[in-house]
Amino acid sequence: MRLYFKTALCTLVVIISYIGYQQKFWQDGSLPLDEEQSGLNEQIVIHFSHVVAEDTPKGQAAVKFAELLEEKTDGRIRVVIYPNGMLFNDDSEFDALKNNDVQMIAPTFSKVTKLLPTWQVLDLPFLFENEEDIERILTGPYGEQLLNQLNSFDVRGLGFWHNGFKQMLSTGKPLQKTEDFVGLKIRAMPSNVLQMQFKLLHATPLATSFDEIYEELEKKEIDAQENTISNIYSKGFYKLQKNLTITNHGILGYAVMINEDFFNSLPTNLQNDLIEVMDEVAEWNFEHSKQMNEDNLSRLRDFSGIHIETLSSADKEKWQKVFEPIYTYYEQEINATYLQEIKQLLNK
Ligand code: SIN
């Protein structure tokens, strides 16, 4: 019996020593690494979550950002993108960013207005008339002053991206006259200014999260919504809501944000690379977003199942009249200075 134990013990020691020798456990005190993957130790990964499809202005800008940053940093930074709300949705992404569960997000500015009410200035109906003005405001000192407000949440605003002008999409009948809205249930993002638009038109606004719109449309819980052509096209909303009115009544854009502690933990040269790439991508995004919405619109025009009309100038004037109290609300209850400044910049 003793001999048996001795033999078993010796065999065990020989086996362990052999495996140890093979794996070089005690030669350098660390676990073995595949030679080809040795750079992995130094690679920094940014997890970037957003809620829209890849083939949209935001989806494409995120991909461009990942490609250019990886290239510029020689692979030191890798950006992993989670589109379509696969990790976090409208309601959870800001907290996920603050908790560093993801390092970057790019929500629409309308969705941050509960925390930063002044940002509602960008939601004001019929404020912007063309893409050039939008770019000038969002990428200039006015945009910077808005982004700086994020600092109090331990979040750094890196810049703005643009999607496009919002249009109206409806199930029952085309929306043209102000009376067409009476009694409808309309999905709008959770910004008081956006919700007010539809209350003033005697409709009921619903702040459905973006990832739930399709399901609510299927259940016939929403009669209409405001959105950009690229979101309407890429999410297939046009399959369930077949009346599109080109209104250009508001804009939809994104504030690109990074977790502040994570950003500060990066070496200075990588911080600079990230900022430079961000600026480059913002420029690219402003150049391409308009084209993308136009391409998607022409595809929708080719699709016979959808009725498309344009808001007439006469009706536009009536909408503007109905929306006047929204400007008064912003001026009196939110921030008169922000409104005055943006109007000056837009020569209004
Ligand atoms: C987005 O473009 O990020 C979503 C917009 C929306 O919620 O309608």
- HSE-up (13 A, CA, CB side) for residue 215: 5
CA of 160 relative to ligand 1 center, distance in Å: 14
Cα distance between the two ends of the chain: 99
CA of 90 relative to ligand 1 center, distance in Å: 8
For residue 196, pLDDT over 50 is answered with: yes
- Confidence class for position 42, pLDDT limits 50, 70, 90: confident
- Nearest CA owner, ligand 1 atom 7: 210
| Alpha carbon separation from 8 to 13, 18, 200, 203 (Å, rounded) | 9, 15, 86, 82
For residue 3, pLDDT over 70 is answered with: no
Lowest mean pLDDT among 11-25, 55-69, 199-213: 11-25
What's the chain's average pLDDT? 91
* For the chain, percent of residues with pLDDT exceeding 90: 87
- Confidence class for position 39, pLDDT limits 50, 70, 90: low
CA of 109 relative to ligand 1 center, distance in Å: 10
Whether the Cβ atoms of residue 278 and residue 157 lie closer than 8 Å to each other: no
CA of 210 relative to ligand 1 center, distance in Å: 6
Using the CB atoms, write b or e for 275-293: b if 16+ within 10 Å. Answer: eebbeebbebbbeebbebb
Whether the Cβ atoms of residue 274 and residue 77 lie closer than 8 Å to each other: yes
Q: Does domain 39-346 have CATH number 1.20.272.10?
A: no
Q: What is the mean pLDDT of residues 188-203?
A: 98
- Enter the tokens of residue 126: 């019929």
Give the whole-angstrom CA distance, residue 339 versus residue 345: 10
| Alpha carbon separation from 125 to 176, 177, 223, 309, 315 (Å, rounded) | 16, 16, 20, 19, 14
- Confidence class for position 97, pLDDT limits 50, 70, 90: very high
Candidate of 82, 212, 231 to mutate for ligand 1, largest count of ligand atoms within 8 Å of Cβ: 231
Sort 135 into a burial class: Cβ within 10 Å, 0-12 / 13-18 / 19+.
buried
Ligand 1 touching residue 51 (CB < 6 A): yes
DSSP state of 343: H
For residue 166, pLDDT over 50 is answered with: yes
CA of 265 relative to ligand 1 center, distance in Å: 30
Q: What is the pLDDT of residue 17?
A: 47
Ligand 1 touching residue 56 (CB < 6 A): no
Counting atoms of ligand 1 from 1, which one is nearest the CA of 108?
Answer: 3
- Confidence class for position 9, pLDDT limits 50, 70, 90: low
Q: At what angle do helices 268-302 and 57-72 cross, to 10 degrees?
A: 150
Candidate of 163, 225, 226, 296 to mutate for ligand 1, largest count of ligand atoms within 8 Å of Cβ: 163
This prediction's pTM: 0.87
CA of 264 relative to ligand 1 center, distance in Å: 29
Q: What is the mean pLDDT of residues 287-305?
A: 95
Q: What is the pLDDT of residue 7?
A: 55
Lowest mean pLDDT among 34-38, 51-55, 71-75: 34-38
For residue 27, pLDDT over 50 is answered with: no
Q: What is the pLDDT of residue 31?
A: 44
Ligand 1 touching residue 231 (CB < 6 A): yes
Q: What is the mean pLDDT of residues 254-264?
A: 98
Whether the Cβ atoms of residue 232 and residue 169 lie closer than 8 Å to each other: yes
Whether the Cβ atoms of residue 69 and residue 284 lie closer than 8 Å to each other: no
